[in-house]
Amino acid sequence: MFTKGLYLFLVIVLSLMLVPVFGCAAPDGGEAQAKAAVEKIRVAAQAELDKLDADVADAALKLKGTGLSGDGARQILNGLCTKYPYLVDCSTADTTGKIVTMAPDANRRYEGLNIGTQDVKAPVLSQYLMTVEGITAVSLMRPVLDEEGKQIGIIDALFTPEALLTGIVAPVIEGTGLAMNVLQTDGMTVFDLPKSDTGKNLLTDAEYKPYMELVALGSRFASEESGSGTYTFPSHETSEPTKKLATWGSVKLHGTAWRMIAVREALN
């Protein structure tokens, strides 16, 4: 037989055990999982961008001594590209925007073309744009100065978000039921996994216009650094309207922000 005190103790313990299961304060399991995934991906992606940026800055400083062309400049550019295999190429351009030197050697054929960087006066992570190489990518650029401190051009490290992010995102979302979309603040999708939306603009493309909840959420993606929300959109598997949960955070570099958005079917 239980004593009255022991019985009361057991009632309290059982009550505390049941609160996380049935209580109002318990977080939605799907949202908690998505938030954890977003944060893990966000931290890793920010660290990689910051690391690349530091090495581009170091290369720009070294070019101060070599200039934009010659064996010394080419060695610096090859070294940067070798260190970051996801880079498409590394180049210098003069103050008119003309490519002076490009590495690796396979891309030297683009030297002499104009990439329109004449207005770059400060470090910048570009928008997702078509390049002279015939791909859609982003550029991380920094001014290059001469020994007197006068700008003589820029250094440009070109990469696709897919090449940078796939190795970060895939291990985190594998087997979770999550998808990942990375958007610029203008609504352009620069990366998604599984691949179906890269290159589409959530805020302007006609295919999204019928889905007002999604477009409204897209406006929040543009203006809010982090958050969560739901919307209804056809399932990729069944094409049936499905309620989805989107949870996002941000990475930022030189005034450019990417929204890292984890998407899954809503659990309630």
DSSP 102-137: EESGGGGGGTT-B-S-TT--S-EE--SEE-TTSSEE
At CB < 8 A and 24+ separation, what contacts does 170-175 make?
A: 172/37, 172/40, 172/41, 173/37, 173/262
CA 37, 40, 44, 45 torsion-angle sign: positive
**CATH 3.30.450.20 fits domain 29-47+162-265:** yes
User: Along the 268 residues of the chain, how does pLDDT read in single tens digits?
Assistant: 445 444 444 434 334 443 332 222 234 547 899 999 999 999 999 999 999 999 999 999 999 999 999 999 999 999 999 999 999 999 999 999 999 999 999 999 999 999 999 999 999 999 999 999 999 999 999 999 999 999 999 999 999 999 999 999 999 999 999 999 999 999 999 999 987 899 999 999 999 999 999 999 999 999 999 999 999 999 877 888 999 999 999 999 999 999 999 999 987 6
**Candidates 3.60.21.10, 3.40.190.10, 3.30.230.30, 3.30.450.20; CATH matching 51-161:** 3.30.450.20
Write down the pLDDT at residue 22: 26
Hey, what are 214's tokens? Answer: 């999604």
Residue 206: DSSP 8-state: G
> In sequence order, what are the beta bridge partners of 78?
none
Write down the pLDDT at residue 268: 64
* Pick from 233, 240, 225: nearest CA to 264: 233
- Residues carrying CATH 3.30.450.20, the chain: 29-47+162-265, 51-161
* Pick from 218, 206, 222, 205: nearest CA to 244: 218
